[in-house]
Amino acid sequence: MTMNPSFNQLYAAAKSARKILITGPKFPDGDSIGACLALAFAFEQFSSAKIEVFGELSFRYQWLPKSNSFLKNNHVSENYDLAIVLDGDRHRLPSEIHGPYHTAKTKAVIDHHASTNLDGYNICIVSPESASTCELLLPLLLSWNIEINSLLATWLYTGIIFDTGGFRHSNTTSETHYLAADLLSHQINHNLITTKILMERQKSGIALLAHALNQIEYLNDGIIAYCAISYEKIVTLQAQEGDFEGIVENMLYIEGVELSCLLLERSPSFTKISLRSRQDYNVALLAKKISPKGGGHARAAGAIIEVPLSVCEAKIIADIVDYLRS
């Protein structure tokens, strides 16, 4: 990847700042969490700013070094000199973070989603060809002469492992493997990271996965695997953040399925849509069709609709079927 002049802009903004906000999207995953921790650590090497990192971490990530440095979203304050959103854009911020982010003197985005709109930022570092935001961060940190140690390698490897599905997804490239090999040379625990991030589940997560797989419906002669889970069922199963990850991928790898869709009614007032595909369908376009704020990657995308499942389910099914016909 060619050197991005925004690397120097971000360095200068962080070095002169007195107060910095770092955050990911509303539902942070392994890539956004690893990226937030890595960027905060890098800033600490050359900036005297007060650095505040925000995010609500699930059990899946609480073992990571310095995961306890994340602040609850409702602890956010005001008057930030620099605010950065990683692995998402300003439209996907947690509601508590939205105001303080937009009133910051300098607003930045670091992301690898092709659907990210570059409007509304002072500094944009966006690389859709990168497999993950953590992959994008590595050359950024090296350009700042940040020495990669085992801590940084663990956080960056976490993001790469998550967003490539353990190097299974089509976004994995030779560059991804080269970077991963370099990170492994820093004596990180590959087995622990992979197991914790991709495989381990709580008992509530196993119950939720079992329920989801039992509820799958097949559309368009089995090309689409579809499942909807109500808020009531999530509460009954005592499912928590982190239990939802991996379900839509399990649905995709059923023989004959080319596109999977999981609808989760995360509260009585909003529904989260997760979309995955193999090769023939660009689900980022489908996510945009479902909601103007939807987006992601060609093979992995999603959207949030602020209505109950009962209100939006029929329309979403119709949108998916219509998209496949177009």
Q: Which domains does the chain have, with CATH numbers?
A: 6-197 (3.90.1640.10), 203-325 (3.10.310.30)
Closest alpha carbon to 19 in 54, 55, 43, 51: 51
Q: Mark the ranges of the chain whose per-residue pLDDT is less than 50.
A: 1-2
pLDDT value, residue 87: 95
Q: CA–CA separation, 120 vs 91, rounded Å?
A: 10
Q: In what order do the strands lie in the sheet with 70-71?
A: 70-71, 50-54, 19-23, 82-86, 106-111, 123-126
Are the C-beta atoms of 90 and 110 separated by less than 8 Å?
A: no
DSSP 279: S
Q: What is the pLDDT of residue 91?
A: 86
Q: What tokens appear for 197 in the block?
A: 């991030």
For the chain, how long is the longest CA-to-CA vector?
59
Q: How far is CA 229 from the centre of its chain?
A: 21
Write down the pTM of the prediction. Answer: 0.90
Task: Check residue 123 and give its pLDDT.
Answer: 97
pLDDT at 3: 55
Instruction: Give the model's pLDDT for residue 2.
Output: 47
Q: How far apart are alpha carbons 197 and 13 in whole angstroms?
A: 32
**What's the sign of the alpha-carbon dihedral 70, 76, 82, 83?**
positive
Structure tokens at 158: 């976490």
